[in-house]
Structure 1
Amino acid sequence: VGLSTPRGSGTSGYVQRNLSHLKPRDTVAPYPKDFEKMKHRQRQPDKEILEHDRKREVEVKVFELRDRLEDEGVDEEEIEEQTSELRKKLLAEHKGDRTNAKALKPHQVHELAKAKIEESEKLRKALKISEDYEEGSHWRKQEERL
């Protein structure tokens, strides 16, 4: 790319790139024609993981109660009775659980996905968008007219 030797050329031999060179533009359209690839797909939460997290949260509270009662010296039958009552109560509360999306942490991916789906559904209903609406269908109709 440069001179084999800068001797006698009156230069230092340093080679610069041509910054004024314009690269040829792409001949493809500025947007892809395949809308299916560009279509956003909502990540579906795993129901089993969500259920497991709920049950784990309940069991943590039950274990805390059991630990506190054992420290107080309550007999085993009374502990079993109170923990089973608390477990039933907490499981009943968690059946129709509406979690606060702002309280979720970034590592709670499935809970965040569920909250996002619920938020999208609320927005769709508020804007009165039909359930069978397909994203990008307006552009296809416009393309057919041309």
Structure 2
Amino acid sequence: MYNGIGLQTPRGSGTNGYIQGNKFFVKPKSGKVVVDNKGFGAGQGTGGVTKKPNKEILEHDRKRQIELKLVILEDKLADQGYTDAEIADKLVEARRNLESTAASEEAAGGAAPLSFADKK
């Protein structure tokens, strides 16, 4: 037995009793910043805690939401019996409206804060 792990004795177990460590176990890291003076200056050691979102990813998500709304609108218009030309015209108009509202929201104060409840 090693540190309370393993068999008391390997006799009769069909093994040699060798204990092998789990090399793939990753110890969980806490999000807390350790408060000690080991060479860190003011504000150092908090890089992962206050990370800002990537603007390119937010822009891509905004465009994706617009395209999703347009696809839903296209399906509704096709079900209602509109011709392809009418659907294309309405989609162009809807795209302009959605992009202008998104641009005005961005200019007013940035994108709305994302929450996981909205994604569900």
Structure 1 length-normalised TM: 0.45
Select which of 40, 50, 74 maps to 2:46.
Answer: 40
Q: Tell me the secondary structure at the aligned position of residue 34 of structure 1.
A: coil
Select which of 66, 70, 84 maps to 2:92.
Answer: 84
Counterpart mapping for 1:56-135 below 5 A: 56-95=64-103, 96-97=105-106, 98-101=110-113, 104-105=115-116
Q: Tell me the secondary structure at the aligned position of residue 40 of structure 1.
A: coil
For the aligned residue pairs, the C-alpha RMSD in angstroms reads 2.5
Structure 1 residue runs without a partner (length 5+): 1-29, 109-146
Q: Offset at 1:91?
A: 0.8
Q: Offset at 1:47?
A: 1.6
Structure 2 length-normalised TM: 0.54
Q: Offset at 1:40?
A: 2.6
Q: Offset at 1:33?
A: 3.6
Select which of 31, 41, 62 maps to 2:37.
Answer: 31
How many corresponding residue pairs? 77
Q: Which has the larger radius of gyration?
A: 1
Superimposed CA distance per residue, residues 79-122 of structure 1 (whole angstroms, 9 cap, x where no aligned partner): 00001111111111112334443x6118x8xxxxxxxxxxxxxx
Higher mean alpha-carbon deviation, 76-85 vs 36-45, is at: 36-45
| % identical aligned pairs | 30
Instruction: Give the whole-Å Cα distance in 2 for the aligned partners of 1:47 and 1:38.
Output: 24
Which letter maps to 2:89?
E
Higher mean alpha-carbon deviation, 73-82 vs 88-97, is at: 88-97
Instruction: Give the whole-Å Cα distance in 1 for the aligned partners of 2:85 and 2:43.
Output: 60
Q: Offset at 1:46?
A: 1.5
Q: Tell me the secondary structure at the aligned position of residue 38 of structure 2.
A: coil
Residue 12 of structure 1 corresponds to none
